Structure 1
Amino acid sequence: MNHSIALNFEDGVTRFIQCREGETVLDAAYRSRINLPMDCSDGVCGTCKCRAESGNYDLGDDYIDDALGEDEKDNGLVLTCQMVPSSDCVIAVPADSTVCKTGNAKFNATVARVEQHNDAAIVLELDVADDAPAFLPGQYVNIDVPGSGQHRSYSFSSAPGERRISFLIKRIPDGLMSDWVGKAQPGQALELTGPLGSFYLRKVDRPLLFLAGGTGLAPFLSMLETLARTGADQPVHMIYGVTRDADLVLVEQIEAYAAKLPNFNFITVVAEGASAHPRKGWVTQHMPAEVLHDGNLDVYLCGPPPMVDAVRKHFDDCGVTPASFHYEKFTPNAPARDKAA
């Protein structure tokens, strides 16, 4: 049986390799022409040390303590020259992809469906081939805008493993991508690059707090679908904040997840003072102490920079330090390497 191993590099590139039964991650990577850091390959030098963020594996006992101490092992560090997976795994590699002689994957897609949501957002669905790269829930791709020589970056709103993928695109007046998508027809071709990003759902060992700002909702839809398929024993609370009433999109889809996931609940918040919404203001004003679990939680935040900064300040003001805090800032119409949602 093969196991799928996601290698997440420091520059945000993710590459998936297949590890055969009994094969080490280092050997599987080399077989895939990815040169993970190494020197001795015998568990002596520690050069191949990485962090296993999820999955089951065996490290054996053929390495020395100087290469991997017990405290490091307890914190998820592994030697890829000794690590033999027994399940799918996610591994953080402390090196850029280019150093490991790999890089972004490019793949093609065709437009399947376009759905407008008021003047706020567009859902873009694309069909991809069976050999399209895998991704982790929460990650994004760069999509080339046909005829422009430019690209825009969007988080997957669909779950991994599907041949139809989807994105939630913010409507921007005269926006390069939103204008193109608004006129797109089924069957039109697009080129994508990725997956990318270190914002993805980790192993769920603690309560989760999802904070979505505007079309920053997209990666959480991917995460929720993944949790709906795998199950979630921990409580999951989401706060979805927008500027205007019209910006609240796909709420019925979130409600469907609330029906599927017994431990999931959510609220929506609208910032505009003239709104008739029952909860107005900012997400930080609707974050009661009980959802913070005294810091024993994992926080995932995707929204514009002011929202990210405000949430971080709120935690400081409350004296709460989450066990882990993963966030992604985005700005509309961002240039290359910035996130556009």
Structure 2
Amino acid sequence: MTSYNIALNFEDGVTRFIQCKDGEKVLDAAFRSKINLPMDCSDGVCGTCKCRAESGSYELGDDYIDDALTSDEAESGLVLTCQMKPSSDCVIAVPTTSVACKTGQLKFAATVARVTSHNDAAIVLELEVDAEAPAFLPGQYANINVPGSGQHRSYSFSTAPGEQRISFLIKKIPGGVMSGWLERAEVDETLELTGPLGSFYLRDVNRPLLFLAGGTGLAPFLSMLEVLTRENSQQPVHLIYGVTRNLDLVLVDEIEAYTARLANFSYSTVVAEETSQHPRKGWVTQHMPAEALNGGDVDVYLCGPPPMVDAVRRYFDETGVKPNSFYYEKFTPNAVLEVAA
């Protein structure tokens, strides 16, 4: 029987995936998975189960009243989960917390497969998932428990969803809890992860994309690029990868490989350090080509440290650039701070 993957994104950043059978309503599929989505009547009358479908195809039928969901709301992507029957994989934003729906974060185990150091800038941690490959949306992150510390750290997946081997790009922090553990980590050592988490992820691609990565904020874009490649996306994609020093430019060979694998993909690198001999120095806002902005008909994704995010937002405000959509995620070495659209 045909079934579809439905990602339920809750307000607290938790994402849960459910399987919805062909012809089955999302509300029923969620209950079958023991997730209590908001509801009251379940007959398309009260509107309590109203959510937003952010991607995917579906039918709503006509068994609901206008007071529950107006035609304008339906056209804008709002749905009643008690009436929604998916005909493809979908992403649904649920306007409440996972706790309120009597669900929560998923935990899974993985073992260390490889630890690769890149200068003094970053480490790539590759893990083999012990059970079923984790489902997530490209751009999301997981919390990784650091063995023996009682603490966890948040890192974006840099691989595509559904892979048994997952990887993370981790900034080296002198004296850092994760950095210190990675120096002595051994192959086959077990880690516990929680996820997926976060509302920074790739939406439906209907126009050109501009990716802005700062340092290890490159990680979610590697996941997105792999998904776009596998989907044979034809939309133009331009990535600007900004770092502080030359040594901070890591995994450029992986980015370069997408110029051959992904149609209409291009990228540039920018180094901020004044003494650098890099051909493009300064900030990403100084090397943002007009064609990549496409007169505002572009979806912009930005992942980087807070100063970079703030600088790009100011640049758009001061220049009057108004992208069709602007999604960004701020992070510090230890935590994700903010996600916005």
Q: Same fold (TM over 0.5)?
A: yes
For 2:63 and 2:209, locate their aligned partners in 1 and report how far apart those are by CA, in whole Å.
37
Q: Deviations over 1:297-318 (max 9, x none)?
A: 1110000000000000000111
For 2:230 and 2:58, locate their aligned partners in 1 and report how far apart those are by CA, in whole Å.
23
Q: Residue 185 of structure 1: CA displacement?
A: 1.1
Q: Deviations over 1:222-266 (max 9, x none)?
A: 000000100212111110000000000000000001111121100
Q: Residue 182 of structure 1: CA displacement?
A: 2.1
Residue aligning to 2:32: 31
Structure 2, unpaired ranges of 5+:
none
Residue aligning to 1:309: 310
Residue aligning to 1:326: 327
Indicate conservation of the 8 Å contact 1:207/1:234, yes or no.
Answer: yes
Indicate conservation of the 8 Å contact 1:10/1:94, yes or no.
Answer: yes
Q: Name the aligned partner's letter for residue 66 of structure 1.
A: D
Q: Residue 338 of structure 1: CA displacement?
A: 7.6
For 1:268 and 1:79, locate their aligned partners in 2 and report how far apart those are by CA, in whole Å.
44
Residue aligning to 2:191: 190
Residue aligning to 2:92: 91
Residue aligning to 1:79: 80
Structure 1, unpaired ranges of 5+:
none
Q: Residue 288 of structure 1: CA displacement?
A: 2.3
Q: Name the aligned partner's letter for residue 113 of structure 2.
A: A
Indicate conservation of the 8 Å contact 1:16/1:133, yes or no.
Answer: no
Q: Deviations over 1:21-62 (max 9, x none)?
A: 211000000011100001110011111111111111111111
Q: Structure 1 residue runs of 4+, over 3 Å off?
A: 336-339
1:105 is the counterpart of 2:106: yes
Residue aligning to 1:142: 143
SS of equivalent to 2:285: helix
For 1:320 and 1:278, locate their aligned partners in 2 and report how far apart those are by CA, in whole Å.
26
Indicate conservation of the 8 Å contact 1:217/1:240, yes or no.
Answer: yes
Q: Residue 133 of structure 1: CA displacement?
A: 3.3
SS of equivalent to 2:259: helix
For 1:270 and 1:280, locate their aligned partners in 2 and report how far apart those are by CA, in whole Å.
5
Q: TM-score, normalised by structure 1?
A: 0.97
Residue aligning to 2:283: 282
Residue aligning to 2:130: 129
Residue aligning to 2:215: 214
For 2:36 and 2:228, locate their aligned partners in 1 and report how far apart those are by CA, in whole Å.
33
Identity across aligned pairs (percent)? 75
Q: How does 1:233-252 map to 2 (within 5 A)?
A: 233-252=234-253
Q: Residue 132 of structure 1: CA displacement?
A: 4.4
Q: Name the aligned partner's letter for residue 191 of structure 2.
A: L
Residue aligning to 2:257: 256
Seen in structure 2, the aligned counterparts of structure 1 residues 175 and 338 have a Cα distance that, compared at 3 Å, is farther
Indicate conservation of the 8 Å contact 1:105/1:133, yes or no.
Answer: no
Q: Name the aligned partner's letter for residue 27 of structure 2.
A: L
For 2:75 and 2:259, locate their aligned partners in 1 and report how far apart those are by CA, in whole Å.
35
Q: How does 1:156-167 map to 2 (within 5 A)?
A: 156-167=157-168
For 2:49 and 2:334, locate their aligned partners in 1 and report how far apart those are by CA, in whole Å.
39
For 1:266 and 1:338, locate their aligned partners in 2 and report how far apart those are by CA, in whole Å.
25
Indicate conservation of the 8 Å contact 2:133/2:162, yes or no.
Answer: no
Please, which moves more after superposition, 130-139 or 251-260? 130-139
Q: How does 1:11-90 map to 2 (within 5 A)?
A: 11-90=12-91
Q: Deviations over 1:55-90 (max 9, x none)?
A: 111111111111111111111111100001111111
For 1:284 and 1:183, locate their aligned partners in 2 and report how far apart those are by CA, in whole Å.
39
Please, which moves more after superposition, 239-248 or 324-333? 324-333
Q: Residue 337 of structure 1: CA displacement?
A: 7.2
SS of equivalent to 1:292: helix
Residue aligning to 1:225: 226
Indicate conservation of the 8 Å contact 2:137/2:161, yes or no.
Answer: yes
Q: Name the aligned partner's letter for residue 201 of structure 2.
A: Y
Q: Name the aligned partner's letter for residue 163 of structure 1.
A: Q
Indicate conservation of the 8 Å contact 1:144/1:150, yes or no.
Answer: yes
Q: Residue 289 of structure 1: CA displacement?
A: 2.0
